[in-house]
Amino acid sequence: MAQNDTVTRILDTAEVLFAERGFAETSLRHITSKARVNLAAVNYHFGSKKSLIQAVFARYLDPFTERFHTVLDDLEQRYAGEVIPLEVLLDNMARTVLEVPAERNSLKVFMRLLGLAYSQAQGHLRRYIQEHYGSVFSRFSSLVRQATPELPDAERFWRLHFVLGTVIFTLSGLDALRDIAEKDYGEHVSVRGLIDRLRPVVVAAMQAPLPPLETDNLSTAS
């Protein structure tokens, strides 16, 4: 057995199980038995379950950030000081997101993991992602800022997260939704088809008219 075969097999199995059932609901014994690997191997190679979770993310996010940085480099060079249009930015991001997991297991797993990273407690994960990959997001949102000068900063911040919510929520719950869509509308939808559907919606969301100024600020509900 090659030296890193165990590590790879653990990661391959873990990412699928995590995506299917969440982090807390997936035991190391489930992972190791399905991967046909000894239980202690996880702690030996990764140190702890937390580190394993982080390693699963790193295997997607490391190549993604690297590629996305060069994509942004290319764009900045091509537009040479000119403002990069919003749709170009969004399209390139989508394309990069699609490319990275294409070689590996599946995009579905990746998006589901991203959704979990948001929704599950796992404070250590949020910290890890923020710390290791926060800079790419900063660079991207700075470009988005130049592309949407008409938006107030706070408004753009919220809309980016609105859009992020749409994408992650949809793609991470894709399986269930796809089943319904296929049953009710007899239509098989691929991930790429979904992204074609998302594009006009996302662009329209970012370019929606500004909300009316809030005159009263006597908000009560927390």
Partner DNA sequence: GTACGTTTAAAACAAATGTTTATAATTTAA
Partner DNA sequence: TTAAATTATAAACATTTGTTTTAAACGTAC
Alpha carbon distance 137, 119 (integer Å)? 19
Q: Judged by CB under 7 A, does residue 6 bind DNA?
A: yes
CA atoms within 13 A on the CB side of 114: 22
Chain-centroid distance of CA 221 in Å reads 31
Among its own copies, DNA, none, the one that 8 touches (CB under a kind-dependent 5 to 8 A) is none
Among its own copies, DNA, none, the one that 164 touches (CB under a kind-dependent 5 to 8 A) is its own copies
Alpha carbon distance 60, 37 (integer Å)? 22
Alpha carbon distance 215, 12 (integer Å)? 53
Among DNA, its own copies, none, the one that 203 touches (CB under a kind-dependent 5 to 8 A) is its own copies
Whether the CA torsion 114, 16, 189, 186 is positive or negative: it is negative
Using CB under 7 A as the binding criterion, the count of chain residues that bind DNA stands at: 21
Tell me the two tokens of residue 82: 């000119």
Of these, 22, 34, 45, 203, which contacts DNA (CB under 7 A)? 45
Q: Judged by CB under 7 A, does residue 21 bind DNA?
A: no
Q: Judged by CB under 8 A, does residue 149 bind its own copies?
A: no
User: Scanning residues 106 to 125, which ones bind DNA (CB under 7 A)?
Assistant: none
Whether 188 and 105 have beta carbons less than 8 Å apart is answered as no
Whether 168 and 114 have beta carbons less than 8 Å apart is answered as yes
Stretch that binds its own copies, among 61-69, 89-97, 142-150, 183-191 (CB under 8 A): 183-191
User: Scanning residues 80 to 139, which ones bind its own copies (CB under 8 A)?
Assistant: 98, 102, 106-108, 115-116, 118-121, 126
> Please, what is the angle between helix 86-102 and helix 123-147, to 10°?
140
Among its own copies, DNA, none, the one that 30 touches (CB under a kind-dependent 5 to 8 A) is DNA
Alpha carbon distance 54, 51 (integer Å)? 5
Tokens 């662009």 correspond to 203
- Per CB under 7 A, residues contacting DNA are 1, 3, 5-6, 26-30, 37-45, 48-50
- Per CB under 8 A, residues contacting its own copies are 20-22, 24-25, 98, 102, 106-108, 115-116, 118-121, 126, 153-155, 157-159, 161-170, 172-173, 176-177, 180-181, 184-185, 187, 189-194, 196-201, 203-205, 207-212, 214, 217, 219-222
